[in-house]
Structure 1
Amino acid sequence: MKWGLYVVMALCVIFAWSKFNKAEEEIQKDEVRLVELKNSGDDEQAAADLETAIESRKNEKTFSGILLAFLTAGLVGIVFVIHVLPAIAQRFTHAVYDSAEMVEKDPMHDARAKVAQGDWEGAIECFKLAAEAEPLNRLPWVEIAKIQLEQLEDPAASVETLRTAIQGQEWEENDAAYLMFRLAEIYNEHMSDKPSAVSVMQQVIEQFPESRHSANARHKLREWGMI
């Protein structure tokens, strides 16, 4: 769509330029002819008609010139705004932040870029690298499980990812409980494996007694008719 607009604008500029040049050539020819008619004195009416035609072509030339200027300015403006200005802004941003080392690379940046591109396998690999870079951040594991569940339609892989995360790290209470609740949800809603879901909720109750996580797990078990 963008390049199509450029082509249309360029063709309009070429057309306006052609009309402008043609009008100029015709005016020059008519002015030479007018001088010849006036010098000969043979046909005053023809000379008068030619003068009128020359004025008309001058008006046409003026209009073509205005149109040419407008279209050229529009084409240059579009190219500047879409291509040149962002490039200048990007260079300026890098010059400020990179040289001063004010911004650290976000470990999740590459993974998010892969997600935006629909490269699910690539995103999973990048999220794994992010998990290695930030071992206490649960988000990479959650995102991997989400991709496996929703995009790859592989709930078993999603369960395996969450189990690996839960067992492979000494998590803070809130993080561990979140991962366990997510695991139970997948067991129950996507794999129709209520016994496994119940087992996970019981682990939450045992691991975090007298906590809101334990209370939430008991509430979930009541919903499932297990208490």
Structure 2
Amino acid sequence: MKAGKDVADAQKNYEQVKNDGEEDEQVIKDLNSKVENAASSRFVNGLLLTFLTAGLIGIVFVIHILPMLAHRVTHAVYDSGEEVDKDPMHDARSKVAQGDWEGAIEAFRQAAAIDPLNRLPYVEIAKIQLEQLEDPQAAVQTLRQAIEGQEWQENDAAYLMFRLAGIYDENLGDRASAATTMQQVMEQFPETRHSANARHKLHEWGLA
């Protein structure tokens, strides 16, 4: 503002000298130089003020606005406005990776309680009992409890029953119980691929 006033005053004096008819070249030159200096000062001050303002705006944006925007974007992308549910299988997988078999079994049981119609926790428990704890009877008990304790979808029920029959036959040498399980598959799911697979298995065993 001051530089602008200086420019206006210098221009006014310059015009007044010209209007008065003074021909002093040095005076006119000095006034013209004063106008140019005032204009240059005004430009430089304006430029500095622009940079300063931009810097202050940038600081405010980085410190206050950018974190707020980032928080909102992150919340929208990952949460969709809701809290992300924790994977109930995460702790169990961590226990398996650590070799904590008993801890893994307990974690899988908790996952099964949260999602009782998910067959995976029961399958993983039976696998640990069979392969790590070398306790096929416990694996059989786990699968039988799972089969009898839930109203499973066809594919899930058949999968669990085939897994149970496999443990009977391969790990316990109890082909009679395995065959009984295959008969149950045929009775429970007649005219399905599960029934056909069970019949094929019985044929392999010479029990068809």
With structure 2 as the length reference, what TM-score do the two structures score? 0.61
Q: Distance in 2 between matches of 1:148 and 1:190?
A: 12
The structure-2 alpha-carbon separation of the partners of 1:172 and 1:98, relative to structure 1 and needing over 3 Å to count, comes to closer
Question: Which residue of structure 2 aligns with residue 25 of structure 1?
Answer: none
Amino acid at match of 1:183: L
Question: Which residue of structure 2 aligns with residue 184 of structure 1?
Answer: 165
Residue 159 of structure 1 is aligned with which of 135, 140, 153?
140
Deviations 1:174-193 (A, max 9, x none): 00000000000000000000
Q: Distance in 1 between matches of 2:146 and 2:87?
A: 21
Q: Secondary structure at the match of 1:201?
A: helix
Residue 116 in 1 paired to residue 97 in 2?
yes
Question: Which 4+ residue blocks in structure 1 deviate beyond 2 angstroms?
Answer: 95-103
Q: Distance in 1 between matches of 2:101 and 2:145?
A: 19
Q: Distance in 1 between matches of 2:184 and 2:81?
A: 49
Q: Secondary structure at the match of 1:137?
A: coil
Deviations 1:78-115 (A, max 9, x none): xxxxxxxxxxxxxx9xx865796452100101000000
Q: Which residues in structure 2 correspond to 1:16-165 (within 5 Å)?
A: 97=78, 101=82, 103-165=84-146
Q: Distance in 1 between matches of 2:116 and 2:126?
A: 16
The structure-2 alpha-carbon separation of the partners of 1:98 and 1:122, relative to structure 1 and needing over 3 Å to count, comes to farther
Question: Which residue of structure 2 aligns with residue 196 of structure 1?
Answer: 177
Q: Distance in 2 between matches of 1:136 and 1:179?
A: 12
The structure-2 alpha-carbon separation of the partners of 1:198 and 1:98, relative to structure 1 and needing over 3 Å to count, comes to same
The structure-2 alpha-carbon separation of the partners of 1:99 and 1:169, relative to structure 1 and needing over 3 Å to count, comes to closer
Q: Distance in 1 between matches of 2:95 and 2:129?
A: 14
Amino acid at match of 1:120: W
Q: Secondary structure at the match of 1:202?
A: helix
User: What RMSD in Å do the two structures reach over aligned CA positions?
Assistant: 1.7
- Looking at CA atoms only, which structure, 1 or 2, has the larger radius of gyration? 2
Amino acid at match of 1:195: A
User: Could you list the runs of 5+ residues in structure 1 that have no partner in the other structure?
Assistant: 1-91
Question: Which residue of structure 2 aligns with residue 49 of structure 1?
Answer: none
Please report how far the alpha carbon of residue 117 of structure 1 lies from its aligned counterpart in structure 2 after TM superposition.
Answer: 0.4
Q: Secondary structure at the match of 1:150?
A: helix
Amino acid at match of 2:180: S
Question: Which residue of structure 2 aligns with residue 81 of structure 1?
Answer: none
User: Could you list the runs of 5+ residues in structure 2 that have no partner in the other structure?
Assistant: 1-70
Q: Distance in 2 between matches of 1:148 and 1:109?
A: 19
Q: How many residues are aligned here?
A: 134
Question: Which residue of structure 1 aligns with residue 195 of structure 2?
Answer: 214
Question: Which residue of structure 2 aligns with residue 15 of structure 1?
Answer: none
Please report how far the alpha carbon of residue 198 of structure 1 lies from its aligned counterpart in structure 2 after TM superposition.
Answer: 0.2
Amino acid at match of 1:144: I
